[in-house]
Structure 1
């Protein structure tokens, strides 16, 4: 087996479909099938079997998936360390980023960092903060940018904090919120908990939820069209939205903050790319 085989096994396990896997690998289906048959001959056992709509891996195949994942990680670590032995700052920086931060903040940060260090490439994974933590724990990424308060036993630094805001198209009376149509959106458990904690601190009755959307941006568009109110993190708000914005606070007057953390394992600090990125972030907290 070599790196191409490891990658083919990993992608096939993720997709459970030879057609989709071949597309991701940029090879033809016959070429992928031929490679897989050679692997089965090499190990003298079946690695997967066909089912309706795709494939499933055998016990032996799952063992090979785990081996492939381990070898890919070891190879990446070796490549990182070899590059790190050279004097210049170069290599691939692997970062996992919470989706909202990736949309509203990350492009500017990466642009300025790449201007300063043009020989650094980026491998960016975005998703829910819980997904980013899983990527960190599996060493798939070197750095994680996570929104909300989660347990992490490695290194972490506060990267950004913002207020939680209620938005509406028209002016409203805050005491009337339970009677107003409320728009929900899919988000991570940390933000849901923060919104619920504030609501229960203020009101004894639940919100009047009249709509559920799949994304925060979709929710915001619904509010712009006066279909209801919503509670969103300040990071997503722009002056051009032309919305009424009410910064939230608890009964005791304490503002409701949403925190963003930079997280990493101490071993990652051995890499110059990681060190320089952390230093850059700390020196440019206003980005």
Structure 2
């Protein structure tokens, strides 16, 4: 059966600026909402770029939050070339997100040449049905971002999360501005990577983007352990005060 074409359009102005917070726990999700985030991207294992969160975490976050929840669909860390088994896992996770009542999903898949894997992505988007769809930072691994953006627009995604192919959005601001111009209102370009109160004003001025993605995290002090183990790793959580500062900058 041929997939029905998804049509997405945007009419953006300064009053529509949106802050998305990447949350890796219930505590971070609650802090994002308390600080004034417009929505969250929910994931786990953020230290390795994020993977799909557990059923229990999604369920509890949806019970506690009133802002939209987008769920990352990524079965493992590493590259974005997925096997048929991994594709099946992603389709099952999307079905679960629909059943739980999520606002949207965050997806992406590439072929071995670094191009958008159109058949895989079409299947993921078809499974999402009425949910919003963000194409994640697999986009930053594409050698030809202009062609990749054309492909993603054709797929009917609502937005692209990207650093402009650089280590941070600030470093990629020129490319981000070029992508916003290319998008021309057909899709939202959402800068992410290193979005802080110190970097956001410059990105607002340089890119023309209206949606921004950050984690607004702080290091959480752990109780002293009786014995040091390999499990004693740094733990980061979203800070409501940092979220509030970012939200205020977008509103000003």
- Common topology (TM > 0.5): no
Higher strand share: 1
| TM value normalised by structure 2 | 0.23
The structure whose Rg is larger is: 1
Higher helix share: 1
